[in-house]
Structure 1
Amino acid sequence: MKRLVLIVILLCLALFGCSKEEKGKSSSVSQLREGTAAPDFTLKDLDGRDVTLSSFKGKVVFLNFWATWCPPCKEEIPSMMKLNQQMAGKSFQMLAVSIDEGGKDAVTAFFKRTGFNLPSLNDPEQKAGKVYGITGVPETFVIDKNGVVVKKVIGGMDWASADSVQFFSELASK
């Protein structure tokens, strides 16, 4: 019976992403909807530099909230890396926002251990995550060149599929 419960829990995590809610706190932040302006934020990258979302206006932004401890996040990272490579030279910017409490050190160690690499920002206090109303990770927002959220995806996805690449290529060429 314990084994069955464990299997059900693992399946739920794999299907619906990883939730990290603080005990005793309910979310009073409304979730960001498609068709609304993407809220601006400034976070540090892995080199300690400030990165502001609005500085990418005029580019399609792939904004992904993730964590090193999240199985669906780890599963989708290789496809994110492929998408980022396929979109090189186009009007496109990928931003992977880590909500790890360990911040830069946790992400750097994870990338070193796994060989993964993404343009990453640190949000250990979940300042941007709260503004975007994320309910767990992974959660992705696609922002058009005008700064409008055109797509929101909750959970992991194969970002390197032919359909995904075509979607981003068409969006970047508009």
Structure 2
Amino acid sequence: MKKLTCLIMLMLVIFASACERNSNKIQSNAGEAIEQKTAPDITVTALDGTALKLSSLKGKVVLLNFWATWCPPCREEIPSMMKLNSAMSGKPFQMLAVSIDEGGKPALEEFFKSTGFTLPTYMDQANAAGKIYGITGVPESFLIDKKGIIVKKIIGPVEWDSPEVKAFIEELLK
């Protein structure tokens, strides 16, 4: 019985840390990206090589989501992110799914090809944007209002297409 308990505890620890970055790979800048403060400006690169500066999206509600292809909770939330993105089409809303995968464009293209998922994806291979936002693991998300203020920081996966989340975002769009 003790062996089984130890095995279960070990599995829980492994699962809980599965999506966390190694502490020697990032240094937390905790406090830089906090609720009710201006979102730190970052520049990320789309898969087509186009650079996008967050500050250029003022006037839109932004869902900034840090994720990775190797992260099971990230993969679980992608379908709901796709549905939310579709539901917000034509509205002043922008999703920035920022991948911290070190494999860059080839890894992301292979992931999307093999899963059939589609997201407005940007790359942050060096985790520069992640460091600015002080992320400690993935997924981590930030909802940013039209004025560029962080209204919500979320650690962990979310059902982005849930009625509650959609209603919250609709309120931000007003």
TM-score by length of 1: 0.91
Instruction: Provide the rounded CA distance (Å) in 2 between the counterparts of 1:170 and 1:87.
Output: 13
The offset of 1:84, in angstroms, is 0.4
For the pair shown, the structure with the greater C-alpha radius of gyration is 2
| 1:12 aligns to 2:16 (yes or no) | yes
In structure 2, what residue type is equivalent to 1:164?
Answer: V
Name the residue aligned to 1:85: 86
Alignment size in residue pairs: 169
Name the residue aligned to 2:74: 73
> Hey, which bits of structure 1, 4+ residues long, moved more than 6 A?
none
CA RMSD of aligned residues (A): 1.7
Instruction: Provide the rounded CA distance (Å) in 2 between the counterparts of 1:122 and 1:94.
Output: 13
Q: Which shifted more, 157-166 or 26-35?
A: 26-35
| 1:29 aligns to 2:29 (yes or no) | yes
Name the residue aligned to 1:150: 151
Gaps of 5+ in 1: none
- Following superposition of structure 1 onto structure 2, how do residues 44-63 of structure 1 map, counting pairs within 5 Å? 44-63=45-64
Distance 1:26 1:116, change over 3 A: closer
In structure 1, what residue type is equivalent to 2:27?
Answer: S
Name the residue aligned to 1:105: 106
Deviations 1:76-106 (A, max 9, x none): 0000000001111111000000000001111
The offset of 1:3, in angstroms, is 4.0
Does the CA contact (< 8 Å) of 2:140 and 2:156 recur in 1? yes
TM-score by length of 2: 0.91
Instruction: Provide the rounded CA distance (Å) in 2 between the counterparts of 1:119 and 1:84.
Output: 9
Counterpart secondary structure, 2:157: coil
Gaps of 5+ in 2: none
The offset of 1:55, in angstroms, is 1.1
